Structure 1
Amino acid sequence: MARFHKLRVAAVDRLTDDSVALTLAVPPNLREAYRYVPGQHLAVRRTAEGEEIRRTYSICSPAPDGRAPDTLRVGVRLVEGGAFSTYALKEINIGDELEVMTPAGRFTLPPAPGLYAAVVGGSGITPVLSIVSTLLEREPRARFCLIRSDRTSASTMFLEEVADLKDRFPERFQLVTVLSREEQQAGLPSGRLDRERLTALLPALLPVERVDGWFLCGPYGLVDGADRALRTLGVDRSRVHQEIFHVDAAPAPAGSRGPAPAHTTVTARLDGRGGTWPAQEGESLLDTVLRNRPDAPYACKGGVCGTCRAFLVSGEVRMNRNYALEAEETEAGYVLACQSHAVTERVEVDFDR
C-alpha cells in the first residue's frame, strides 16, 4: 500500500539553470518501504495556501543491489507556473523535510541480459538514467542504446552522469544525442525527433528487430512519434514501454461512451478494507473514493502517472484519458480511477490487485 513519510533533504544539486536533483535521506526503519525497481517514481506532496499539491518525480539513481536504499535521488525540472517545481528550485534547502510517497510505477526494467534501447526527451532522461545505470552495473550481458533529445547542451539534464556511463561501459553503452535548437560539431544534425526522422534513424543505429525492450519517455509529442515509428518498423507492442511527462494540449484518447446513470454507487477495496458509497454527479471514481477514504493513492489526477491504477471488478466505466496504462493492462481490466466515470449504476474497483 502506497504511503507518505517525511524524508529529509540531504543534497540539492543544480543540474541546469532550470533543473535540480534532490537527494532524500531514508531512515533505517523506512528503507524496506522505499525499495524500488529502476524506472519507478515518487509522489511528493506539500500544502500551499491551504491547497494540497502533489507531483511525481522519477528516481534517477541506480537501485542498490540486494539491499534497500539509504538515499533516493530525483530530478526536478522547472515548469512555467509550476507550484512544486518553483518551490524545489528556489526554496528547498538541505535539512528540509518533504512528504514523499513510497515508490510506484511500472515503467521499469529489472536487470536482465539482452539488448535494450530508449528514446527520451528533456527530463525524460530521469527514469531511464536509473534503468540504464542499474542494468549496466549489474548485468554484464546487457547492452543499451540511448537516443536523447534536448533543446541545447546547456539545458541537458544529467549530462555528466550519462557521460560517465559512456566512459565506464564503452562497449555496451551507445549514446546518440540530438539537439533541437543548437548545432553540434559532431553527430546528428539538429532538429526534432519526429516519427519520420526516427523511422529512418533507428534502423541505422541498431538492429531494431533484436531489441528486447524499448523505453520511450518525455513529452507527449516525442513519445507518440517514437511509438508510431516503432509500429512502422514492425516492433511488437509488448516490447514498447512508455512514460509521458508532459501532455499539454494533446487530445485525450477516445474511450467508451455511454450515458451517465442517474444514481451510481462505487464499491472499492483499498488496503484490505472495502466500502460502498454514492457517487456525486460528474465526479470520477477516485473522487468518490477520496471523499470516504482519504488514503486512496493518487498523484497527478491527469491520467499520466498511473498511481491510481485499480482493477475493475464489475460494472462499466468511461476512461477519459490514459497516458499511463499499457494495452495489456487495460485489456486485463485495469483502469485509472482519476479518469474513470461510471457508465453503469454499480461499479466495483480493487486498488489492492
Structure 2
Amino acid sequence: MARPATEMDRSARHGAFHPLRVAAVDRLTDDSVAVTFAVPPELRETYRFTPGQHLALRRAGGGAEIRRTYSICGPAQDRDGPQTLRVGVRLVEGGEFSTFALKELAVGHIVDVMAPAGRFVLEPGPGRYVGVVGGSGITPVLSIVSTLLAREPEARFCLIRSDRTVASTMFLEEVADLKDRYPDRFQLVSVLSREEQQAGLPSGRLDQERLTGLIRTLLPIEAVDGWYLCGPYGLVQGAERALHALGVPRKRVHQEIFHVDEGASAAPARAAAPSHAAVTATLDGRSGSWPVQDGESLLEAVLRNRADAPYACKGGVCGTCRAFLVSGEVRMDRNFALEAEEVEAGYVLACQSHPATEQVELDFDR
C-alpha cells in the first residue's frame, strides 16, 4: 500500500534543492560528460526516480543563480532509492552550466540538485517499445531502455538514434553493452549525419521522409506499445509527423525536446496584461495571492513572494513549472513540454503564462 505523502515529499516534488557530492565525472566525447552524484541514505527516498526523468541543477554564477535540467541516464534498479544519480551533460555554446561541468566540475564538488521531475517516462512492463533520439536525446532513453530490459523479460526495445559522427556519439559503449546483453530483445539502428559508416545505413539527416521509410521497413507499427521521441525540436517534430502519417495513435507517442530551433522558439508579441491582475497560487499546501506586474509571467509573480516555486529552464522546455489552472484564463507564449492531453486537462507552464483575466489561480500541487 502506498504511504501518504508527507510535507517533505511535497517539498521534494517542487522547488526543494539538496547539496549532493560529485562522485565521478566521466568524459564521454570531446564535448560531453557524465556526472555522478552520491545520494546519502536519508535522501534516497527523495531521489527515487522513474526512468526518463530529469534533475534540475543549481549554482551561483556572475552574481546570479543558474539552473539547468539534465536527464538521468542510469537505470532505476534500487528498490530503496538510488545510491547514486548519473546525468549526461553536453556542452552548449555559451552555456554557463555546461561549460562549468566540462571544464571545472570535479569529484568532491558539491552541487545543489532538485528532486527528480518530468513525465517523459516508462514504467517497465511487457510490450514492444521504440525510441527515436538525436544527439544528447539518448540520455533519458538510455535510462528507460536499460531499466526496461533488466526488469521485464517480455519487453523488446528498438532504438533509432541519430548523431553527427561516431566521435560525437554519447554513451556509445553503454548502448553497445545493451546490444550484447540483450541481442534478442534490443534492436539498434544508428544513423550518422556527417560521416559515412563502413556498414549500415548511409549518412544523412534523419528527417520525416527518411524516418517514415525506416519505420515501415523495420517495425510492426501496430504492435508497438509506446514511441519515445527525444532530441532537438526538428527531429522530434519530424518523427511525430512521420508517426501521425503512419496512423500511430497520439496516445502512444511521448516526446521530450532538448533543443529548440531559433525559428520555433520565437515568442509572439506580448499583449498588455489586464489592469490590476493578480495570481493566487497553491504550493506545498500553502496558498497566497499577489499582484502581477506588467510584462511578468505568472512564475515571476509567484517567485517574488515564494522563492521555493519550481522552475529550471524558464524557456517552456523542461516542464518543471507545470501547474494546474484552477480558474481564470492565461496566455502561454511557448509550450514545448506539455502534451496536448495535459493542456486540455487544464495544465499550463507558469514560466510562459501571462494573465488574460484579472484573477488567475494556479495549483502547483496537482
| Counterpart in the other structure of 1:270 | 283
Distance 1:254 1:9 in 2: 37
Q: Does 1:204 align with 2:197?
A: no
CA 155–254 in structure 1, closer or farther in 2 if over 3 Å, else same: closer
Instruction: For residues 140-193 of structure 1, give each alpha carbon's deviation from its aligned partner in whole angstroms, at most 9, with x where no partner exists.
Output: 000000000000000000000000000000000000000000000111110011
| Counterpart in the other structure of 2:21 | 8
Give 3-state SS (helix, strand or coil) of 1:292's partner: coil
Give 3-state SS (helix, strand or coil) of 2:158's partner: strand
Distance 1:63 1:53 in 2: 27
Give 3-state SS (helix, strand or coil) of 1:165's partner: helix
Q: Does 1:222 align with 2:261?
A: no
Q: Does 1:293 align with 2:302?
A: no
Q: Does 1:86 align with 2:69?
A: no
Query: What is the identity, as a one-letter code, of the residue corresponding to 1:234?
Result: G
| Counterpart in the other structure of 1:339 | 352
Please point out which of 307, 316, 321 is paired with 2:329.
Answer: 316
| Counterpart in the other structure of 2:247 | 234
Query: What is the identity, as a one-letter code, of the residue corresponding to 1:74?
Result: V
| Counterpart in the other structure of 1:158 | 171
Please point out which of 122, 130, 138 is paired with 2:151.
Answer: 138
Contact 1:258 1:343 in 2 (8 A): no
Please point out which of 63, 69, 78 is paired with 2:82.
Answer: 69
Measure how far apart 1:201 and its partner are. Answer: 1.2
Contact 2:133 2:162 in 1 (8 A): yes
Contact 1:252 1:322 in 2 (8 A): no
TM-score, structure 2 normalization: 0.94
| Counterpart in the other structure of 1:36 | 49
Give 3-state SS (helix, strand or coil) of 1:93's partner: coil
The alignment of Structure 1 onto Structure 2 pairs a total of residues equal to 353
Distance 2:272 2:255 in 1: 31
Distance 1:310 1:7 in 2: 27
Give 3-state SS (helix, strand or coil) of 1:325's partner: coil
Contact 1:217 1:242 in 2 (8 A): yes
Identity %: 76
Distance 2:260 2:108 in 1: 33
| Counterpart in the other structure of 1:125 | 138
Q: Please tell me the root mean square deviation across aligned C-alpha atoms, in Å.
A: 1.4
Instruction: For residues 246-298 of structure 1, give each alpha carbon's deviation from its aligned partner in whole angstroms, at most 9, with x where no partner exists.
Output: 0031325999x976312201000001000000000011000000000000000
CA 95–259 in structure 1, closer or farther in 2 if over 3 Å, else same: closer
Give 3-state SS (helix, strand or coil) of 2:167's partner: helix
TM-score, structure 1 normalization: 0.98
Q: Does 1:53 align with 2:54?
A: no
Distance 1:337 1:37 in 2: 24
Query: What is the identity, as a one-letter code, of the residue corresponding to 1:131?
Result: I
Contact 2:272 2:295 in 1 (8 A): no
Give 3-state SS (helix, strand or coil) of 2:351's partner: coil
Distance 1:172 1:146 in 2: 11
Instruction: For residues 297-345 of structure 1, give each alpha carbon's deviation from its aligned partner in whole angstroms, at most 9, with x where no partner exists.
Output: 0000000000000000000000110000001111100000000000000
Distance 2:294 2:273 in 1: 9
Give 3-state SS (helix, strand or coil) of 2:263's partner: coil
Distance 1:158 1:251 in 2: 28
Measure how far apart 1:210 and its partner are. Answer: 1.3
Give 3-state SS (helix, strand or coil) of 2:313's partner: coil
**Which structure 2 residue ranges, 5 or more long, are not aligned?**
1-10
Please point out which of 269, 275, 279 is paired with 2:292.
Answer: 279
Give 3-state SS (helix, strand or coil) of 1:154's partner: coil
Instruction: For residues 83-106 of structure 1, give each alpha carbon's deviation from its aligned partner in whole angstroms, at most 9, with x where no partner exists.
Output: 000000000110000000000000
Measure how far apart 1:67 and its partner are. Answer: 2.2
Distance 1:222 1:127 in 2: 16
